Amino acid sequence: MTDPFALFDQWYAEARASELNDSNAMTIATADASGQPSARMVLLKGHGPGGFVFYTNQQSRKAGDIAENPQAAILFHWKSLRRQIRIEGRLSPVSDATADDYFATRSRDSQLGAWASDQSRPLDSRETFETRFEEIAERFAGSDVPRPPHWSGYCLVPARFEFWQDREHRLHERRTFVRNGGDWTEGLLYP
């Protein structure tokens, strides 16, 4: 039996070598308490047997969805390899220490942007945002930029994987792995 995390690592390494831009880009699909779905692109910032990690503003729409319904799905699509991986599971917040450690690795402008942005809220003009950014830059001039209290990360703990490989004539290969207690059950799906 194949370990789905080892297979992910293999495919991800190939994608990092072949994709021109953002091989770590993934779609995350969430739904609010009423079931209204929403999908958007985020960047994978960590992964392993513990799950798949990304970061965001805790006041964003996605964070609101996650608070109401922590079930989510992520999707990697690597066109150059003609592959995709779907992963479904439950999201939970990363620790403050983990979020602090990652935030410290971001570029200074990205750190400042996390303070300046009211992500997902209406914005009257681009100029308003740029002015806020400059004000935040002045506020932290000459010092490290701490992680904002409204900015952190989530880890999706997989319950299901699907590895999809494009084949000629739409005779694709679809391998699934479903968590069964502490083990994984492997199977195939018709294309």
Distances (CA, A) of 44 to 1, 22, 75, 178, 186: 26, 9, 11, 21, 24
Contact by Cβ (8 Å): 191, 174:
yes
Tell me which DSSP letter residue 191 carries. -
Length of the chain: 191
- The residue among 95, 100, 93 whose CA lies nearest residue 147 is 100
How much of the chain is helix, strand and coil, in % rounded to 5?
30, 40, 30
As a whole number of angstroms, the distance between CA 44 and CA 84 comes to 15
- Residue 125 tokens read as 């003009």
Q: Could you tell me the maximum CA-CA distance found in the chain, to the nearest angstrom?
A: 59
Angle separating helix axes 126-139 and 108-116, nearest 10 degrees:
120
**Annotated active-site positions, please?**
170
